[in-house]
Amino acid sequence: MVKPLIAANWKMYKTIGEAVSFAREMVGQAGSMDDREIVLAPSFASLSAVAEACRGSTIRVAAQNMHWEERGACTGEVSPLMLLDAGCAFVIIGHSERRRLFGERDKGINLKIQAALKHRLNPIFCLGESLEERESGRTFDVVEKQLERGLNDISSHDIRAVTVAYEPVWAIGTGKTATPAQAGEVHAFIRKWLAGRYGESAASSVRIIYGGSVNEKNVEELMATPGIQGALVGGASLEVRSFLGIVRFGNNG
């Protein structure tokens, strides 16, 4: 059984002090949960301080991006070695904001996933369609292309360390969540694609999570949907109370 993963994507929010005090509170409240994996993704600036605050707990730390090279003349970039050094276990790759605002393309995303796997960082590979693509009936085509290109040259051994995050772009930060039926059918499509490429056994160990306006209210329904194995949470992860409400799905009643 794959453990569900709930990740907080703090984007460009929280100073180091704010991030550390959130992490300490999470450690106090949920730092020994082991039936689910809790991940905090602060900005680069806060990574090592948050990792330090989470030490000794079950909470893990993710970066929101990285470069694929280990070192080099790449002003402003951060390498996999630096993330490991800072205490990261995960790295978010290909988030739609990176694709939209910073011109990230499938090829570079693929290089980043390969580099993460080489360095034993667990990639959280984000993909999903825009509103226009959904409305023109191209959701599955778009998702398939992102899978094909993003996972190019990833072996059936390495794929097991990958988490795929289905994040429909129209649901991110908009308060519009995909219905469980909409998310469920794309998750099933991703699972089927993975099984076709890697075989049933490898595909079944890849975690597929949902992101896009997840909150305390809709988390139960989403997590009860077959095929949804976790959540990547933006807005609702910024307050301890609401993130805890999400992390504790299944125990809130």
240's tokens? 């301890």
Instruction: Closer to ligand PGA by CB, 46 or 177: give it.
Output: 177
Pick from 242, 157, 172: which is nearest to 203 by CA?
A: 157
Whether 67 is a known active-site residue: answer no
Per CB under 6 A, does 127 bind ligand PGA?
no
3-class DSSP state of 123: strand
Main-chain dihedrals φ then ψ at residue 229, nearest 5 degrees: -115, 20
Cβ(18)–Cβ(242) below 8 Å = no
Per CB under 6 A, does 123 bind ligand PGA?
no
CB of residue 218 to ligand PGA, shortest distance in Å = 10
3-class DSSP state of 239: coil
CB of residue 143 to ligand PGA, shortest distance in Å = 16
Strand partners, 92: 124
Choice from 4, 80, 94, 234 touching ligand PGA (CB under 6 A): 234
Whether 239 is a known active-site residue: answer no
Q: Which residue is nearest to ligand PGA (CB)?
A: 234
Instruction: Closer to ligand PGA by CB, 108 or 211: give it.
Output: 211
Per CB under 6 A, contacts with ligand PGA among 164-223 are 167, 172-173, 211-214
Catalytic residue among 97, 129, 167, 216: 167
x-or-dash string of contact with ligand PGA, 64-103, rule CB under 6 A: ----------------------------------------
Output the CA torsion sign for 29, 35, 36, 39: positive
Cβ(109)–Cβ(150) below 8 Å = yes
Cβ(215)–Cβ(246) below 8 Å = yes
Binding site for ligand PGA (CB under 6 A): 9, 167, 172-173, 211-214, 232-236
Residues serving a catalytic function are 95, 167
